[in-house]
Amino acid sequence: MKTKNLEAYLSGGVEKHLNGTFTIYGYIDNRKNGEEIGRHKCTYGEYTIKDARRMFKIELADIMDLCEEYKIFNNDDWVEFDYPHKATF
């Protein structure tokens, strides 16, 4: 997924948990300098992996749009940026 200044992608795998849930991870990079701006993760429990990946991609695209709107183009700005489900790892 790409915007004018950003590129987002999912990590290669899915983290499965003992309770049946799983977590998907994504990353947002600055397209101009290649540096990682931030990470996003979400845990799903009542969806198939296929449906969860589809929803995660939509959410990641929405976050990228917010980053473009608020000019979040580096990690320092990302740390202060607040949105639902922000990954703090």
**What is the enclosing helix (H) or strand (E) of 38?**
strand 36-44
CA distances from 25 to 8, 65, 67 (A): 11, 18, 17
Q: Is 64 helix (H, G, I), strand (E, B) or coil?
A: helix
All residues at 6 or more sequence positions from 57 whose CB lies less than 8 Å from its CB, including other chains: 1, 10
Backbone angles phi, psi at 9, to 5 degrees: -150, 155
What's the rounded Cα separation, in Å, for the pair 12 and 64?
19
Q: Report which residue type is found at 51.
A: D
Specify the pLDDT at position 82. Answer: 79
Reading the chain (89 residues) residue by residue, the pLDDT tens digits are 899 999 999 987 889 999 989 999 999 999 999 999 999 999 999 899 999 999 999 999 999 999 999 999 999 999 888 776 566 65
Specify the pLDDT at position 50. Answer: 93
